[in-house]
Amino acid sequence: MQTPVPDYLHEVLDTLREDTSGETAQYIPELANADPAPFALSVTTATGSTYCAGDTDTPFSIQSISKPFAYAAAIIDRGLDRVLESIGVEPSGEAFNELSLEDGTNRPKNPMINAGAIAAHSLLVGQDATGEARVQRVLDMFSSLAGRELQIDEDVYRSELITADHNFSMAHMLRNYGILADDAHEVVSGYTKQCSILVTVNDLSMMAATLANGGVQPVTHEKIIDENTARQVMSVMAVAGMYDGAGDWLTRVGIPAKSGVSGGLVGVLPDQVGIAAFSPRLDSHGNSQRSRRAFERLSTDMDMHLF
Ligand code: DON
């Protein structure tokens, strides 16, 4: 069946390609040296049809886009009440790498910032899980969500671990406050592997479409996430997925979303679509510049704003 959607997506990419502002993430050597040129866009419906354009075969590390999906896994593995004991659901209003702990409880304010995502990773599988089991858990889950077997980019992992002192120091603070029970280095190492899982825009739009579809993968029909957990994850994406730019994003674009420092951006419209964009140059908030603009276009042109 012919559809005008791919032509439209190509047009969006062609219009925005001339925007070469921003630069690749500089604090991770392997990402700093990444090719800044690729640009891709993918939309997967909750019924499993994917429309895409641009460099859709280019793999990149998932980075912070792993956080909502790992949060879902932690809730499935430990229950929402246990996860809420360790991680809040409030916007931090600060950058992704600030500690942003809640007064009184010392919980990281939400699971989208690094501190909250490190805590979420530590909750995977079960109380006495090994570091390897936690990494395998996210790799298996992300593979089910994408509908194909994903892999870890060992070069990105090693490169990021060498410069991970900031995350190590936050993990030690979390241990100090009793939020992290496990070895700080082992948890950060596992979290960094989680961030180094390689995906394409089509993988990400399929993963997002699974959330949009209430946790059922639209092509394999596997129920990966229960409906309440999918709702919890999409709610937190709306509140905090774009960090200190979350309010501006939700009012302007109106799509619960999550960005990553390698240049990916995913959005979810409940019961409708998962959307993903990829372009490695980042704006001052650490979000992909062209991907952000592509989402703004889609939201306006297709009236995707939730409200
Ligand atoms: O922990 C880090 O700093 C990276 N692995 C992920 C950060 C990230 O993607 C922030 N998102 N925009």
pLDDT for 144: 98
Q: Which residues pair with 52 in a beta bridge?
A: 42
Query: How deeply is 81 buried, as exposed, middle or buried, from its count of CB atoms within 10 A (0-12, 13-18, 19+)?
Result: exposed
Residue 1 has pLDDT above 70, yes or no: no
**pLDDT one-digit tens code per residue, 127-175:** 989 999 999 999 999 999 999 999 999 999 999 999 999 999 999 999 9
Atom of ligand 1 nearest to the CA of 166: 3
**pLDDT one-digit tens code per residue, 88-129:** 999 999 999 999 999 999 999 999 999 999 999 999 999 989
Angle at CA of residue 89, ends 88 and 92, nearest 5°: 90
For residue 295 the two structure tokens come to 């989402």
What spacing in Å lies between the alpha carbon of 300 and ligand 1's midpoint?
28
Residues making up the annotated binding site for substrate are: 64, 114, 160, 167, 191, 243, 261
What spacing in Å lies between the alpha carbon of 222 and ligand 1's midpoint?
29
Mutate to test the pocket of ligand 1, among 64, 69, 193 (most ligand atoms within 8 A of CB): 64
Number of residues that this document lists for the chain: 307
**Beta-strand relationship, 198-199 and 60-61:** antiparallel
As a dihedral over the C-alpha atoms of residue 127, residue 128, residue 130, residue 131, rounded to 10 degrees, the angle is 40
Mutate to test the pocket of ligand 1, among 26, 63, 135, 191 (most ligand atoms within 8 A of CB): 63
- Which of 221 and 2 is assigned the larger pLDDT? 221
Cβ atoms within 10 Å of 297's Cβ, excluding its own: 18
| Element housing 12 (H / E) | helix 5-16
Residue 7 has pLDDT above 80, yes or no: yes
What spacing in Å lies between the alpha carbon of 287 and ligand 1's midpoint?
10
pLDDT for 11: 97
Where do the domains of the chain lie? 5-61+199-301, 64-195
Fold agreement (5-61+199-301, 64-195):
yes
Q: Which residues contact 221 (CB under 8 A, 6 or more apart)?
A: none
Q: Which residues pair with 54 in a beta bridge?
A: 40
Average pLDDT, the chain: 96
Atom of ligand 1 nearest to the CA of 65: 9
What spacing in Å lies between the alpha carbon of 29 and ligand 1's midpoint?
13
Mutate to test the pocket of ligand 1, among 113, 162, 169, 261 (most ligand atoms within 8 A of CB): 261
**pTM (2 d.p.):** 0.98
Q: Which residues contact 132 (CB under 8 A, 6 or more apart)?
A: none
Q: How far apart are CA 93 and CA 73, in angstroms?
A: 25
Mean pLDDT of 28-56: 96
ipTM over 0.90: yes
Among protein residues, the one whose CA lies closest to atom 7 of ligand 1? 64
What spacing in Å lies between the alpha carbon of 242 and ligand 1's midpoint?
12
Q: Assess contact for 259 and 276: CB atoms under 8 A.
A: no
- The CATH number of domain 5-61+199-301, selected from 3.40.710.10, 3.40.50.300, 1.50.10.10, 3.40.50.720: 3.40.710.10
Cα 298 from chain centre: 19
Query: How deeply is 128 buried, as exposed, middle or buried, from its count of CB atoms within 10 A (0-12, 13-18, 19+)?
Result: exposed
**Res. 2 pLDDT band, cuts 50 70 90:** low
The binding-site residues of ligand 1, defined as CB within 6 angstroms of any ligand atom, are: 63-64, 96-97, 114, 160, 167, 195, 259-261, 286-287
Atom of ligand 1 nearest to the CA of 64: 9
Residues making up the annotated binding site are: 64, 114, 160, 167, 191, 243, 261
pLDDT for 4: 76
Strand intervals (E) in 97-238: 198-199
Cα 75 from chain centre: 16
Q: How far apart are CA 209 and CA 271, in angstroms?
A: 8
User: What's the CATH architecture for 64-195?
Assistant: 3-Layer(aba) Sandwich (3.40)
Task: Report which DSSP code applies to 255.
Answer: S
Q: How far apart are CA 155 and CA 209, in angstroms?
A: 29
